[in-house]
Each structure stands twice: as C-alpha cells, then as structure tokens.
C-alpha cells in the first residue's frame, strides 16, 4: 500500500513565527510532490510543487525535499492568521504521472 503520512495536528503557532509542516511517503520512486492548502469548506488550492532534492522558495513559503529520506516539508515564514488552514501533501507515485496520493492533512492554526 503506497502511503503519504502527515501529522494531523493541530499545529498551533503564533503570528510571525515559522510554521513547519512535514510529510513522509512510502514509495521511493516518487518523482513529484505538491503542497495544497485547504480552507474549511473549500477545495484544495496549490501552494507549491517540488521535483528535485533541496529547497524551493516562493515568497513566504519554502518546500524542502529529501528523496533519500522520503521526506518533504513546507515552511511558512512570518505566519499570518490567514494561513490557518489544512495543508495537504500530495505525491505522484512511481509509475503514475497523473494520480496524486494525498496525506490526510495537517491543520495549522496561526494565533494573532
């Protein structure tokens, strides 16, 4: 069973702090990794995609990928209350360049 694991949270951080969200995956051959943000009652919205080992930065967001450790993370700098949402990690498993396997998500709360 190919899986994507995330801490369900909730993860609570004060406004202005760094929020760190983590994800592990079981399929060593996975090639593509995505972070989606989902506000309560809304549909998932793409935040970041990452394909190579290392860091990828986009504004306040940094995705980190370590394929050897089968680990992908999302850092949110200068967290804002508007960042409060569930963050979903999604992985394209080996042999499937279309199907996304999602983790159950981590609920992040940023306290003013």
Partner 1 sequence: GAGVSQSPSNKVTEKGKDVELRCDPISGHTALYWYRQSLGQGLEFLIYFQGNSAPDKSGLPSDRFSAERTGGSVSTLTIQRTQQEDSAVYLCASSKPSGGAETQYFGPGTRLLVL
Q: Which residues bind partner 1 (CB under 8 A)?
A: 4, 31-32, 34, 36, 42-46, 49, 51, 88, 90, 92, 96-105
Rounded CA separation 14/106 (Å): 16
Rounded CA separation 55/38 (Å): 22
Question: In the bound complex, what is the minimum distance in angstroms from residue 69's beta carbon to partner 1?
Answer: 20
Q: Which residue's CB is nearer to partner 1, number 22 or number 31? A: 31
**For residue 105, with 0-12 CB atoms within 10 Å meaning exposed, 13-18 middle and 19 or more buried, which class applies?**
buried
Q: Which residue's CB is nearer to partner 1, number 26 or number 96? A: 96
Question: In the bound complex, what is the minimum distance in angstroms from residue 92's beta carbon to partner 1?
Answer: 4
């Amino acid at each position: 069973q190919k899986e994507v694991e995330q801490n369900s949270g909730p993860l609570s951080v004060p406004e202005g702090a760094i929020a760190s969200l983590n994800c592990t995956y079981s399929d060593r051959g996975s090639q593509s990794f995505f972070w989606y943000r989902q506000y309560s009652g809304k549909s998932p919205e793409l935040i970041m995609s990452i394909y190579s080992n290392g860091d990828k930065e986009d504004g306040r967001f940094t995705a980190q990928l370590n394929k050897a450790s089968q680990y992908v993370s999302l850092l949110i700098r200068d967290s804002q209350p508007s960042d409060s949402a569930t963050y979903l990690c999604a992985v394209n498993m080996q042999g499937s360049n279309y199907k996304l396997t999602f983790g159950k998500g981590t609920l992040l709360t940023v306290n003013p």
